[in-house]
Amino acid sequence: DTGVSQDPRHKITKRGQNVTFRCDPISEHNRLYWYRQTLGQGPEFLTYFQNEAQLEKSRLLSDRFSAERPKGSFSTLEIQRTEQGDSAMYLCASSLDGYRGTEAFFGQGTRLTVV
Amino acid sequence: TQLLEQSPQFLSIQEGENLTVYCNSSSVFSSLQWYRQEPGEGPVLLVTVVTGGEVKKLKRLTFQFGDARKDSSLHITAAQPGDTGLYLCAGARTSGSRLTFGEGTQLTVNP
């Protein structure tokens, strides 16, 4: 399977704990995006990388959130001191420069539940 | 802030009917993508349109990008229960930039 892979698929954590999610993009894709989606809404942009450079961060990305893509391949999204409002589906997508528009391909997501 | 408005938000129809979903904005996009999402899964890319007035067909689905690249529509002919899902439009201001999503249209096709 050469699609975007996210791990874990589901995460239940207690309020105040830290969590880390991993995303492996399509291998030749140089852009990687993180989005968050709550029930009944479209995905909201969090941040994106071109290779290892983080090019844009949303105001939604508070100080508790950090994302890295150290070698321009996989990426991690960490949430520190989780809150109940962080409960959502976290989606990762990747795309290739030079292609039509932003043809972003999504992973299956990580469902986070903060209890 | 670029805002994409989708309508209708919910649509419940009988198998065999036709339907159209609209995606509108006051902003110009360099490209517009349509996705379909099932519960608990990530969005699956259906089509990308980049040229004003462009029409693309994918079996029973027809996608159109407005002449001014501010709006788009998705038309489904003879809907089937397998078409059920959340349909999302998403626009990019420049190639490779982040996508701005609409809130989605939840389509239910009843047998």
Torsion angle of C-alpha atoms A101, A107, A113, B2, degrees rounded to 10: 0
- Spans in chain B with pLDDT lower than 70: 1-2
B31 CA: distance to closest CA in chain A (Å) = 5
Q: Which residues of A touch B102 (CB under 8 A)?
A: 42
φ and ψ of A97, to 5 deg: -60, 145
What is the structure's pLDDT at A98? 72
Q: What is the DSSP letter of A38?
A: -
Largest CA distance in chain B: 41
Q: Are B79 and B13 in contact (CB under 8 A)?
A: yes
The answer to whether B98 contacts A44, with C-beta atoms less than 8 Å apart, is no
What is the structure's pLDDT at B15? 98
What is the structure's pLDDT at B28? 94
A15 CA: distance to closest CA in chain B (Å) = 22
What is the structure's pLDDT at B62? 98
- Residue B39: CB partners within 8 Å, gap ≥ 6? none
Q: CA-based angle B69:B70:B72, to the nearest 5? A: 85
Q: Work out how many CB contacts closer than 8 A connect A with B.
A: 82
Is A44 an interface residue toward B (CB < 8 Å)? yes
What is the structure's pLDDT at A1? 55
Per-residue pLDDT of chain A (115 residues; tens, 9 = 90+): 579 999 999 999 999 999 999 999 999 899 999 999 999 899 999 999 999 999 999 987 889 999 999 988 999 999 999 999 999 999 999 998 876 678 899 999 999 999 9
What is the structure's pLDDT at A99? 64
Which one of B35, B41, B50 has the shortest CB-CB distance to A101?
A: B50
Q: Which residues of A touch B42 (CB under 8 A)?
A: 4, 6, 91, 93, 106-109
